[in-house]
Amino acid sequence: MTIYNLGSINIDQFYSVPHLPGAGETLAATSHSAGLGGKGANQSVAAAQAGARVFHIGAVGPDGDAMLDRMRALGVDCTHVAQVDTPTAHAIINIDTRGENAIVIFPGANEKQSLSRLDAALAGAGKGDILLLQNETSLTVEAAQNGRARGVFVIYSAAPFVAEAARAMLPHIDLLVMNEGEASALSSALGLGIPDIPVPHLLITHGAGGAIWRDQSQPSEIRLPAFRAPPIDTTGAGDCFLGYTAAALDKGLSAEDAMRLGAAAAAIQVTRHGTADAIPTRAEVDAFLS
C-alpha cells in the first residue's frame, strides 16, 4: 500500500555546544552543520528507508531545491510538494555533549499548504493506505478529515504539542502518537485519564524507556523496551521511530513487531549526528536486529 504524509520540510542548522544555553547566555559552538529536517520530512525518509512507498505533501520556498533533491535521493516521492514564495522553514538546533537538544523553528513555507493541492494529492488514497500528520503544517485537521473520508488509517503526532490542536484532531484520527510529557499534558487539558483519551489507538513513547501501544477500546496495551544505545544526538529519534513503525504497519506487521522495527531504527539513529541524514537503511536495521 502507500503512505501519504502532510508534513514539514525544514533546513536544519545544527550547533554543537558545551551545554544548552540559559537565558541571556552567549555560547560559542564547537561545530556547525546543516541538512534536511522537519518532523514530516524525517518521518517520510524513515518510512521510505524502511521500504514503504511514500508520497510527501508539503511546501518549500525558493531556497528549498536542495531539500527536495535530498528527499528524492532518500526514496521519497515529492510530486505533491509545492514551491511557494515564502522561505523554506528552518530550525536552529543546539546539541549538548550528552546528545540533548533545544530547538527553535521558523515555520515558513510549512504554513502555506493548499486545500486544492491536498485534495489532489490524496485523490488516489484509499483503504489500506496510511496518512501521517504532525503539528508543523497548516491544514492538519482538514487532511485528517479528508483521509478518514477515504478510509485511510490516520496517524497523528501531537508535536510540537499544543493542547487545542490535539483536541481538534481527536475525532478524526486512528492512532495518536505522543511522548510521555505530551500524554500527561493532553490528559490534564481534557480532564481525562490516559486510558480515557477518545481515540482508537494510542502510542506513547518514553525515550530510553521504550514505548506503549494502547488499544483504547479493549482496553489493552503492548509494552516494548528500547534498545540500549550510546546517544550522540537524539534529534529526530522519535520521527525515525514513527516512520519505521508506520512503514511496518503498512506492510502488515503487528503493532508489537512494527514498534520493534522502529525502536531498532531509532537506536541506530541516536548514535549519529543529524536528523533525516542520520536515519538508517532497512539493511542496517535488519543487521542490528539479527
Residue 212, sorted as left (phi over 0), alpha (psi -120 to 50) or beta, turns out to be beta
131 φ, ψ (degrees, to nearest 5): -120, 125
Kindly list the distances between the CA atom of residue 103 and the CA atoms of 31, 38, 149, 178, 236, in Å, as whole numbers in the listed order.
16, 11, 35, 18, 11
Catalytic residue among 129, 233, 239, 250: 239
Tell me the DSSP string of 68-96: HHHHHHTT-EEEEEEE-SSPPEEEEEEE-
Cβ atoms of 190 and 184 closer than 8 Å: no
Sign of CA dihedral 19, 20, 26, 32: positive
Q: Can you read off the three cell numbers belonging to residue 160?
A: 510540537
DSSP state of 24: T
Report d(CA 243, CA 249) in Å as an integer.
10
Q: Distance from CA of residue 23 to its chain's centroid?
A: 29
Q: Which spans in 204-275 are helix H?
A: 237-250, 255-269
**239 annotated active-site:** yes
58 φ, ψ (degrees, to nearest 5): 180, -160
DSSP state of 231: -
Catalytically active residues are: 239
